[in-house]
Amino acid sequence: MIEDLHHASPAVPGSALGAVRLADWGVIRAQGEESAKFLHGQLTQDLALQTTKQARLAGFCSAKGRLLASMLAIKPDDQSVLLALPAEVLPATVKRLSMFVLRAKTKLSDDSAAWAVWGLSGVPAREWLGEAAPAEVWSVGRLALADGAQAFATRLPDDGVTPRFLLLQPAGAQAPALPLIDPEEWQGLDVTAGLTWIREGTVEQFVPQMINFELIGGVNFQKGCYPGQEIVARSQYRGTVKRRTHLFSLDGVDADARPGQEIFHSEDPEQPAGMVAGFGRQEGRPLLLAEVKLAALESGSLHLGSPQGPLLSPRSLPYLIGAPE
């Protein structure tokens, strides 16, 4: 157990090994004895059977099966659920979820001020976590702090090389004793892991399978109904997904991209062929996850922003994109 959290070390340029405060993330708290039951009926994952040692990657969909938000759900105890997600979509998410609470014994609130969200990466991060470092993806380790409070470390998907963790700790706790890394380098680790978080520019743009959400543990096809469930299930079992997210490097060291930006195909320049789902850097080099038409991968080239924009060069994801089961 870790008794104290020390101040983070100075940033290491170009390195993705260490810790980064995810200041653009927030936390929703669901408090009450029916919190998990309520969220189970709203999200794409099974929260009813989730234990306090497990995390859930989950999506919140519209009635049309389009993702309004994606989040990480953990259970600090049997009476509450914490949902960590990008802050830009948090207010709309908590407002819309609250509309469906009705008589459920739960209360949803923006609890961001009470928590600090950190990204941890690399062997040094795993060693710093010690016995609290979870070994399996989407499992949770608990850190005992000096004041009796707890922090929660979730093992995230990675590129097969660099272990990663999402740390939720009380806002007043000291920073992890690790080198600081650049936020875009952390986002680059999300990109190379093939993990997409819904941002403001991509709200209602994707059915879960379009961002490979079911391939990384974001959808449970055996659970009961939730908003958009029929469409998500039909996309899975009828093979109607004609667009998928792939990993690309971006031509030009200074090139930049943003979630929601359009992708164009050289052989069909009049209309977009896809959309940026995530962007980051690996040792300073720009990388992106782009949701694209599968047909656009067969020939020609893909470009960011316009048919004359920076070239997208395909790279391998750490998982296979195959036909629906």
316 pLDDT above the threshold of 60: yes
Average pLDDT over residues 74-80: 95
DSSP 130-198: GGG--SSTTBEEEEE-TTS-EEEEEEEP--SSS-EEEEEEETTSPPPSSBB--HHHHHHHHHHHT----
**pLDDT at residue number 9:** 41
317 pLDDT above the threshold of 90: yes
Q: What's the pLDDT band for 4 if we cut at 50, 70, 90?
A: very low
8 pLDDT above the threshold of 80: no
Q: What's the pLDDT band for 271 if we cut at 50, 70, 90?
A: very high
**pLDDT at residue number 16:** 84
Question: Does domain 199-315 sit in CATH 2.60.40.1930?
Answer: no
Domain range summary for the chain, segments of one domain joined by +: 18-183, 199-315
**pLDDT at residue number 238:** 78
Among candidate residues 198, 217, 232, the one with its CA nearest the CA of residue 319: 217
pLDDT digits (tens, 9 = 90+) for 174-202: 999 999 999 999 999 999 999 999 999 99
**pLDDT at residue number 15:** 65
325 pLDDT above the threshold of 50: no
Residue with the bigger pLDDT between 146 and 294: it is 294
**pLDDT at residue number 224:** 82
163 pLDDT above the threshold of 90: yes
The span from the CA of 286 to the CA of 279, in Å, is: 7
Average pLDDT over residues 118-141: 97
Q: What's the pLDDT band for 13 if we cut at 50, 70, 90?
A: very low
The span from the CA of 31 to the CA of 101, in Å, is: 12
Average pLDDT over residues 77-100: 97
159 pLDDT above the threshold of 70: yes
pLDDT digits (tens, 9 = 90+) for 217-238: 999 999 889 999 999 998 888 7
pTM for this model (two decimals)? 0.93
87 pLDDT above the threshold of 60: yes
DSSP assignment, residue 11? Answer: P
**To the nearest whole number, what is the mean pLDDT of the chain?**
92
**pLDDT at residue number 5:** 33
* CATH of the domain spanning 18-183: 3.30.1360.120
Q: What's the pLDDT band for 300 if we cut at 50, 70, 90?
A: very high
The span from the CA of 299 to the CA of 273, in Å, is: 13
